[in-house]
Amino acid sequence: MRFSALRILKEGLTGNKGWQAHWRDAEPKPAYDVIIIGGGGHGLATAHYLAKRHGITNVAVLEKGYLGGGNIGRNTTIVRANYGLPGNSEFYSHSLKLWEGLEQDLNYNVMMSQRGVLNLCHSDGQRDAFARRGNAMRNQGDDAELLDREGVRKLVPFLDFDNARFPVYGGLYHARGGTARHDAVAWGFARSASDRGVDLIQNCAVTGIDIEGGRVRGVQTSRGAIKAKKVAIVVAGRSSQVAAMAGLRLPIESHVLQAFVTEGLKPCLDHVVTFGMGHFYISQSDKGGLVFGGDLDFYPSYAARGNLPMAEHVMEAGMAMVPMIGQARVLRSWGGIMDMSPDGSPVIDRAPVDGLYLNCGWCYGGFKAVPGSGDALAHLIATDNPHPAATRLRLDRFATGAGLMDEEATGSQHNLH
Amino acid sequence: MRIPCPLCGMRDLREFSVRGAALPEPEGAAWSAAWDDYLHNRDNPAGESREFWYHGQGCGAWLVVTRDTVTHEIADVVLAGAEAGA
């Protein structure tokens, strides 16, 4: 079933009776070439690119709950490629290019909206840093524009430009950044993978990873044993638990990141805007709710809910930057569980077990990485070589200290990112 | 979340900062696989966890907090020095 304007017209005229399920709810087979543990955005994207680019379709995606029920369904939907360091820079650049063609690739409306991401600066030093970052982005082939105060005012006149502590000095504008509809991204990848023959198996919790002679042989699940030549762990938020089944201890701590959404409002905020002093970022969803968030709560947590101090900090930062949002009522807040790595950057690499692959450590940046991550992991699984855009996302960089990607320059240590 | 400081009593989360998993420091100052493991790798339990917390906005004590990372329930808090038997 392909989506098209003609199809929508036809269905509209015939009572919408012709739509079918977007993917097959498959039963597990005894064996596969590749098993992907985790039916979230990254896992489903991996399945899509394995099938599409590499012709590998004897693949199962095992999901312990329902497809797209984890962090792909509870993020703040921002897509961008404004990183400064080698490694992250080319990877997120690649991912953004895939985002730009994703709807055509998947024949699925993911509501990709390149509404622009604006990072505000509030000091000369910060402006200098943004100039440097912007140049790095442009050298990478991406877009960046350093705006002065008046340039920012043209885009977002409602900011508190003369805030006593944090006056707005300018901003770095990344016009190709924006937002996408997070659930549709999962559904689009799921549909494409399923159509190409991948088995998407829900309610199938992996309980063990079978290893013989240093090589992975398959997995144990709540629905029986399944053999596989290759297994990928793509379960950010729960990476430590699944990796432990293979005897691995990862450089990851799980932390909670809160997010908030207000009641629906008329369109008032056209871009993604981030505050440069204190952690705060905001956009307006197509439904009208203001979607915003801040920093981690900064203690390890699997609770999927945070505590009040960070909620208060986020509200305070929001009021300091955009006083007009004070009238809006918060509808709900939630917490997602983040795989935090010591340097704040991800890992796509072979595990120290033959045939086992790791995709983890996405910190609070997993959503924008979804297509790039799927493409890179599929390439790694299919060829056993890293994708050219992901050669630096190595697991051993913490041990060697070579190629750390510490964007905030706070050090490669837990609790600093 | 509130933490019962052994010196100050029950105090608000705002007064504390977490300082990471309470792990024993490896022997020797030279770089080794043990130091890499100590600095980077974590059990990262979903459940009971032992962590250092610093009561920076209170008495300044370092604490070892035994805490459930799923429920945020705190089972035990002791002074870090006492815990190590130092």
- Residues of A in Cβ contact (< 8 Å) with B63: none
- Yes or no: say if A284 and A269 are a contact pair by the CB < 8 Å rule: yes
Q: Indicate if the pLDDT at residue A164 is higher than 60.
A: yes
Number of domains in chain B: 1
What is the rounded CA–CA span in Å between residue B69 and residue B78?
Answer: 18
Torsion of CA A33, A37, A43, A49, to 10 degrees: -10
Say whether A160 sits in a helix, a strand or coil.
coil
The minimum CA-CA distance between A165 and chain B, rounded to whole Å, is 22
Q: Indicate if the pLDDT at residue B83 is higher than 80.
A: no
- Residues of A in Cβ contact (< 8 Å) with B1: 299, 307
Closest CA to B37 of B47, B45, B27: B27
The minimum CA-CA distance between B23 and chain A, rounded to whole Å, is 13
What is the rounded CA–CA span in Å between residue A283 and residue A115?
Answer: 10
The confidence score (pLDDT) of residue A417 equals 84
Kindly determine whether residue A249 and residue B72, on different chains, have CB atoms separated by under 8 Å: no
Using CA coordinates, name the residue in chain B closest to A306.
B1
Kindly determine whether residue A414 and residue B42, on different chains, have CB atoms separated by under 8 Å: yes
At B2-20, the pLDDT tens digits run 999 999 999 999 999 999 9
Nearest to A251 among B40, B49, B70 (CB): B40
Which region among A57-61, A147-151, A155-159, A275-279 has the lowest average model confidence (pLDDT)?
A275-279
Using CA coordinates, name the residue in chain A closest to B12.
A309
The confidence score (pLDDT) of residue A333 equals 96
Q: Estimate the crossing angle of helix A182-195 against helix A41-54, to 10 degrees.
A: 40
- Yes or no: say if A129 and A213 are a contact pair by the CB < 8 Å rule: no
- Structure token pair of residue A341: 């790595």
The confidence score (pLDDT) of residue A409 equals 87
Using CA coordinates, name the residue in chain A closest to B1.
A307
Q: Per-residue confidence at A155, pLDDT binned at 50, 70, 90?
A: very high
Kindly determine whether residue B46 and residue A302, on different chains, have CB atoms separated by under 8 Å: yes
- Could you list the residue range(s) of the whole structural domain that residue B16 is in? 2-83
Complete DSSP assignment for A85-102: STTHHHHHHHHHHHHHTH
Q: Per-residue confidence at A267, pLDDT binned at 50, 70, 90?
A: very high
The confidence score (pLDDT) of residue B86 equals 44
Residue A189 host element (H or E): helix A182-195
The DSSP output letter for B3 is E
Using CA coordinates, name the residue in chain B closest to A342.
B40
Q: Where are the beta strands (DSSP E) in A310-365?
A: 330-340, 347-350, 356-360
Distance of CA A38 to the CA centre of its chain: 14
Using CA coordinates, name the residue in chain A closest to B68.
A301
What is the rounded CA–CA span in Å between residue A87 and residue A393?
Answer: 7
- Residues of B in Cβ contact (< 8 Å) with A307: 1, 13, 72
**Paired strand residues for A147:** A171
What is the rounded CA–CA span in Å between residue B19 and residue B8?
Answer: 19
The confidence score (pLDDT) of residue A276 equals 87
- Residues of B in Cβ contact (< 8 Å) with A244: 43
- Please tell me the pTM assigned to this model: 0.96
**Paired strand residues for A210:** A218
Kindly determine whether residue B69 and residue A301, on different chains, have CB atoms separated by under 8 Å: yes
Share of chain A above pLDDT 90, in %: 95
Nearest to B44 among A300, A309, A412 (CB): A300
Closest CA to A235 of A116, A351, A319, A90: A351
Region A240-262: mean pLDDT is 97
Asked casually if ipTM beats, i.e. exceeds, 0.90, the reply is yes
Torsion of CA A100, A106, A111, A115, to 10 degrees: 0
The confidence score (pLDDT) of residue A340 equals 97
Q: Indicate if the pLDDT at residue A332 is higher than 80.
A: yes
Using a CB–CB cut-off of 8 Å, the residues of B that contact A are 1, 12-14, 17-21, 33, 36-37, 39-46, 49, 51, 69-72
Say whether A382 sits in a helix, a strand or coil.
helix
Kindly determine whether residue B70 and residue A253, on different chains, have CB atoms separated by under 8 Å: no
Query: CATH number of the domain that B20 lies in?
Result: 3.30.2270.10
What is the rounded CA–CA span in Å between residue A254 and residue A19?
Answer: 40
Kindly determine whether residue A251 and residue B42, on different chains, have CB atoms separated by under 8 Å: yes
The confidence score (pLDDT) of residue A277 equals 86
Kindly determine whether residue B42 and residue A249, on different chains, have CB atoms separated by under 8 Å: yes
Region A318-341: mean pLDDT is 95
The confidence score (pLDDT) of residue A215 equals 98
Q: Indicate if the pLDDT at residue B84 is higher than 60.
A: no
Report chain A's mean pLDDT, rounded to a whole number. 96
At B25-81, the pLDDT tens digits run 999 999 999 999 999 999 999 999 999 999 999 999 999 999 999 999 999 999 998
Greater confidence (A167 vs A411) lies with A167
| Residues whose CB is less than 8 angstroms from the CB of residue B40 and which lie 6 or more positions away in sequence, other chains included | A251, A342, A398, A399, A412, A414
Kindly determine whether residue B44 and residue A251, on different chains, have CB atoms separated by under 8 Å: no
Look-up: residue for tokens 């203001």?
A290
Residue A274 host element (H or E): strand A272-275
The count of C-alpha atoms lying within 13 angstroms of the C-alpha of A243, restricted to the half-sphere facing its C-beta, is: 28
- Yes or no: say if A146 and A118 are a contact pair by the CB < 8 Å rule: no
Q: Indicate if the pLDDT at residue A33 is higher than 70.
A: yes
Torsion of CA A41, A44, A47, A52, to 10 degrees: -80
